[in-house]
Amino acid sequence: MSLAASNNERYTYRDYLTWDDDERWELIDGVPYNMSPAPTRRHQRISLDVATQLNNFLSGTPCEVYAAPFDVRLPKGDEADNQVDTVVQPDIVVICDPAKLDDRGCRGAPDFVVEILSPSTSEKDRTIKLALYENRGVKEYWIIDPENNTITVHRQGPDGRYGAPVIHEGRGYLEMATLPGLEIDLDATFR
């Protein structure tokens, strides 16, 4: 649920840094979203499995994988960090440009993002974040649905927009376009 929905206030990364560390928040276009409650055990197992497969594949490359909580600041332009109004914590990200990484996380679009649906975040992941990731230049965005054992894949086309989504059943292997040669073992992921 959004904190700002009732008071129409907009916030920045400067505000975000002052919020209570006992709660996880995301900030999208100045609107804060509480990420409570904690994810389910199945959600966490799927996250760990996908992140492990990615990490094993990326060993020895300049690309790095991170799992939530990990701040991704998505500026609209070249504004200072304290003026950035979008900070998200995707379940999994891959960043191949080391210049985007700093001690606070990532500034700029990751190459690859995974969101694993939870009842409290499902709608936001499928709509608000989908539009956000497309507009800010995330090359590939996977939405994993643990209830239905499916993955919806959104890939950036030559025009910078996502083409039609492709839905995969949670079995066999799923090849990543962003990281050629990597296939995620879905039988292991959805075991």
Domain of 182, CATH number, reads 3.90.1570.10
User: Is 157 part of any domain?
Assistant: yes
Range of the domain at 171: 39-189
The tens digit of pLDDT for each residue in 48-69 reads 999 999 999 999 999 999 999 9
Residues 6+ apart with CB under 8 A from 162: 130, 134, 141, 154, 155, 156
Among 21-25, 100-104, 141-145, 167-171, name the one with the lowest average pLDDT.
Answer: 21-25
Q: Which of 16-25, 79-88, 141-150, 169-178 has the lowest mean pLDDT?
A: 16-25
- Backbone torsion region of residue 188, taken as left when φ is above 0, otherwise alpha when ψ lies between -120 and 50, otherwise beta: alpha
The number of domains in the chain is 1
Kindly state the DSSP code that residue 172 receives in the 8-state scheme: S
Q: Is position 24 within any domain?
A: no
In a domain, 128, yes or no: yes
Residue with tokens 């040669």: 181
CA–CA gap between residue 97 and residue 15 (Å, rounded): 27
What residues does 26 pair with on adjacent strands?
33
Q: What size, in residues, is the chain?
A: 191
* pTM of this structure: 0.92
- The alpha helices in the chain, defined as continuous H runs, are 13-16, 41-58, 122-126, 128-136, 186-189
- Residue 148 forms part of a structural domain: yes
pLDDT, one tens digit per residue, over 79-129 is 999 999 999 999 999 999 999 999 999 999 999 999 999 988 899 999 999
Tell me the pLDDT of the chain averaged across its residues: 92
Rounded to a whole number of angstroms, the CA Rg of the chain reads 16
Is 8 within the bounds of a domain? no
**Residue 142 falls inside a structural domain:** yes
